[in-house]
């Protein structure tokens, strides 16, 4: 079954896709004690030893990631709740007749073996040698496939967006005119001023910032100026900070760009960090897709954590892929076709042209930090762990039809999120759960 996300111990089912990945090393053995029932879910028991085994696996994950461990009683409570929801969802799937064929499980086992560059028989022997039950391994994969098939079916039916909904959304957005309702995409050059800078140093750095601003206003490529002048930490190669609500920018930036048109330059302006030169990349009302947008063409390799692939192991595997790609020992597209666990794999991981807001925030934030051609470090989203490469960027004007499709995609993603929360709560609410002795 899927394991808890080690960093946050989120409740169950927060990933919507199947989690079939590489075979993880066995966890430390769990010392058995007299077992007892800690909870009953619709007459099906969950035992203390089951919770303890899950806790050992989660603690191992968190140790691999360097994450601090919560108190054991709190971890046990969260993991028990996760297991209760998993059990309730599996029971609901059985009631609804959701089944997975033996051939689908065979394919999943084969996929795990391929991820580890093993045959199925070699995988079986390795698991047996390490004290793991191969039959239980197949059962866990089957349960995972069942759960995700049911989730996908339930959510898909609740995520359709009508033309009327798009019309209503566009009409509602046209009413917002305040600065607070704006979204901005700004690019910046930061000429940092050291904390203990002398007055002479400040004057020199201000002059340097003014030179950068003057060259930006004269038409010099802003991305080139970023590389030459900027010392902003953790920014994109072109200095862009991403489209976001105005309140998520420093008020200093909002005030400085309030009367600046798209493409215009503001600054230098002084903050505690230094002197900023700002370029307005995009302005629009919050929630509205802009008529002019920056689009990115990217590709990725996706690994989905599961009971057989910890999140830390997926990160490590993708980090190795990155090393091989950057060194020229492997081709990104070939690795995506072989390993990526989503529909883009057959296309070498290609995701096509995408505007801001079409990917989940974690993916998009990492993608926006990458220069063209760059391969980023692995990033975790609710769908799994991604290795991302940016292929191209462009600025384009959306047609009215494309704007409507952008709204449709945005509303659909929102519906999916809302539908998942409601669905998971309903499953949990319908289950009869009897708590017995607390887990130890």
Whether the per-residue pLDDT at 262 is higher than 70: the answer is yes
Q: According to DSSP H, which parts of 271-399 are helical?
A: 311-326, 332-339, 361-368
Name the phi and psi angles at 21, rounded to 5: -145, -160
Is residue 417 predicted with pLDDT exceeding 90?
no
* pLDDT of 326: 93
Is the separation of the CB atoms in 14 and 5 below 8 Å?
A: yes
The pLDDT of residue 430: 87
Look up the pTM and report it: 0.43
Within the chain, all domains assigned CATH 1.10.4030.10 are found at 1-157+399-440
73-84 tens-digit pLDDT = 888 888 888 889
Write the CATH number of the domain with boundaries 292-397: 3.10.50.40
Average pLDDT score over residue span 144-160: 79
**Higher local confidence (pLDDT), 280 or 27:** 280
Give the whole-angstrom CA distance, residue 96 versus residue 92. Answer: 6
The answer to whether the CB of 3 falls within 8 A of the CB of 77 is no
Per-residue pLDDT tens digits for 25-67: 444 344 445 789 999 999 899 988 888 877 876 776 666 555 6
Per DSSP, the residues of 79-134 read: HHHHHHHHHHHHHHHHHTT----HHHHHHHHHHHHHHTT--HHHHHHHHHHTT--H
DSSP SS3 for 47 = strand
Is the pLDDT higher at 168 or at 202?
Answer: 202
- The reported pLDDT for the residue numbered 289 is 52
For the CA atoms of 338, 324, 377, 19, the dihedral, rounded to the nearest 10 degrees, stands at: 20
Which residues belong to CATH 3.10.50.40 in the chain? Answer: 176-285, 292-397
Determine the Cα–Cα distance for residues 185 and 282; give it in Å rounded to an integer: 5
Q: What is the pLDDT of residue 329?
A: 94
User: CATH classification of 1-157+399-440, choosing from 3.30.390.50, 1.10.4030.10, 3.40.50.720, 2.60.40.10?
Assistant: 1.10.4030.10
The pLDDT-based confidence of 7 (bands split at 50, 70, 90) is very low
| β-pair type (384-397, 274-285) | unpaired
Least confident of 20-24, 122-126, 145-149: 20-24
pLDDT at 233 over 60: no
Whether 277 has a pLDDT exceeding 80, the answer reads yes
Lowest mean pLDDT among 7-11, 231-235, 353-357: 7-11
Give yes or no for residue 4 having a pLDDT over 60: no
Span 176-285 CATH architecture: Roll (3.10)
Question: Lowest-pLDDT range, 7-16, 37-46, 203-212, 293-302?
Answer: 7-16
Which residues fall within 8 angstroms of residue 144, CB to CB, at 6 or more apart? 1, 2, 18, 19, 20, 306, 307
DSSP string for 365-406:
HHHHTPPTTPBPPPEEETTEEEEEEEEEEEEEEPPHHHHHHH
What pLDDT sits at residue 333? Answer: 93
Residues contacting residue 360 through CB under 8 Å, at least 6 positions apart: 381, 382, 383
């Amino acid at each position: 079954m899927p394991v808890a996300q080690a960093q946050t111990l989120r409740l169950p089912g927060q990933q919507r896709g199947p989690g079939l990945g590489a075979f993880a090393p066995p966890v430390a053995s769990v010392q058995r004690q007299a077992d007892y029932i800690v909870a009953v879910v619709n007459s099906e028991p969950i035992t203390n030893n089951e919770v303890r085994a899950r806790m050992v696996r989660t603690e191992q994950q968190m140790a691999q990631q360097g994450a601090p461990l919560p108190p054991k009683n709190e971890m046990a409570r969260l993991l028990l709740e996760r297991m209760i929801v998993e059990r309730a969802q599996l029971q609901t799937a059985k009631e609804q007749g959701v089944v997975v064929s033996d051939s689908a499980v065979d394919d999943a086992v084969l996929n795990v073996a391929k991820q580890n560059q093993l045959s199925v028989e070699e995988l079986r022997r390795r698991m047996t040698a390490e004290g793991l039950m191969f039959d239980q391994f197949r059962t866990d994969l089957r349960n995972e496939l069942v759960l995700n098939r049911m989730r996908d079916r339930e959510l898909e039916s609740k995520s359709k967006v009508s033309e009327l909904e798009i019309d209503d959304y566009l009409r509602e957005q046209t009413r917002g005119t305040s600065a607070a309702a704006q979204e901005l995409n700004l690019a910046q050059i930061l000429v940092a001023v050291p904390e203990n800078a002398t007055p002479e140093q400040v004057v020199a750095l201000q002059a340097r910032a003014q030179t950068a601003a003057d060259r930006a206003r004269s038409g010099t490529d802003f991305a080139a100026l970023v590389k030459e002048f900027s010392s902003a930490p953790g920014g994109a190669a072109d200095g862009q900070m991403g489209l976001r609500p105005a309140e998520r920018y420093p008020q200093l930036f909002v005030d400085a760009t309030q009367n600046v048109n798209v493409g215009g330059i503001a600054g230098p302006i002084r903050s505690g960090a230094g002197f900023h030169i700002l370029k307005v990349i995009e302005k629009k009302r919050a929630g509205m897709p802009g008529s002019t947008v920056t689009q990115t063409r990217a590709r990725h390799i996706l690994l989905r954590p599961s009971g057989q692939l910890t999140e830390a192991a997926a990160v490590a595997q993708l980090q190795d892929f990155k090393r091989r790609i950057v060194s020229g020992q492997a081709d990104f597209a070939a690795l995506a076709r072989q390993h990526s666990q989503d529909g883009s794999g057959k296309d070498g991981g290609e995701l096509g042209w995408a505007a801001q807001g079409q990917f989940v925030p974690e993916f998009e934030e990492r993608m926006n930090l990458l220069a063209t051609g760059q391969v980023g470090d692995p990033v975790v989203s609710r769908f799994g762990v991604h290795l991302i490469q940016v292929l191209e960027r462009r600025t384009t004007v959306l047609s009215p039809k494309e704007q409507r499709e952008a709204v449709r995609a945005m509303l659909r993603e929102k519906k999916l999120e809302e539908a998942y929360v409601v669905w998971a709560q309903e499953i949990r609410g319908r289950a009869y759960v009897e708590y017995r002795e607390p887990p130890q």
